């Protein structure tokens, strides 16, 4: 019996030594039975599309009883030097002012007359990533026969170009 107890003690001692050795190896190798954590770093670079919309215009024109018509030239473009807009641009042109019946405004793009409803054009478009320039001419005429007032008309007209950025861009 003593021999069996002695063998059990040796086996028990060997089990303890093997367990301690396994635990020490786990600590020395850096592996843990517990949670394992990882750290991930993500680098992202965002770009913002650069819209370019420029209106070039001429000095004011003056319409008088002697000079009954005038031409006002302006351009709308989507580039500046070599940089081109990265987004589509939509715009419309509006003539602002209390326009008397004796004043007739006609807008042209090149040789084509642009229809206007309530002194406003339909939406025009400049396409992204290609140079575009739209040249306009506003012809303003004074018809004294349509003037119902005894005095001359003193009036200022303004051209408003309202632009909006399109929904798509490429960068």
Domain extents in the chain: 54-169
Tell me phi and psi for residue 10, to 5 degrees.
-65, -40
Per-residue pLDDT, 171: 47
CA 35 to mean position of chain CA atoms: 47
Q: How far apart are CA 36 and CA 119, in angstroms?
A: 70
User: From CA 108, how far away is CA 71, in angstroms rounded?
Assistant: 10
- CA 122 to CA 34: how far, in whole Å? 69
Domain 54-169 in this protein, CATH class: mainly beta
Average pLDDT over residues 129-151: 83
Mean pLDDT of 105-125: 93
Phi and psi angles of residue 69, each rounded to the nearest 5 degrees, phi first: -140, 155
Which range is most confident: 4-18, 77-91, 151-165?
Answer: 77-91
């Amino acid at each position: 019996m003593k021999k069996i107890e002695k063998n059990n003690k040796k086996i028990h001692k060997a089990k303890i030594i093997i367990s301690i050795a396994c635990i020490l190896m786990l600590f020395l190798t850096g592996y843990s039975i517990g949670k394992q954590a990882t750290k991930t770093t993500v680098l992202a670079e965002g770009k913002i599309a650069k819209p370019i919309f420029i209106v070039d215009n001429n000095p004011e024109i003056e319409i008088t009883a002697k000079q009954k018509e005038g031409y006002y030239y302006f351009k709308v473009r989507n580039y500046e030097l070599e940089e081109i807009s990265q987004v589509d641009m939509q715009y419309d042109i509006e003539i602002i002012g209390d326009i008397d019946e004796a004043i007739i405004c006609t807008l042209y793009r090149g040789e084509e007359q642009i229809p206007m409803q309530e002194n406003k054009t339909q939406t025009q478009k400049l396409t992204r990533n290609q140079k575009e320039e739209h040249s306009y001419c506003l012809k303003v005429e004074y018809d004294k026969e349509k003037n119902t007032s005894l005095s001359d008309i003193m009036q200022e007209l303004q051209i408003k170009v309202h632009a909006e950025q399109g929904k798509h861009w490429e960068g």
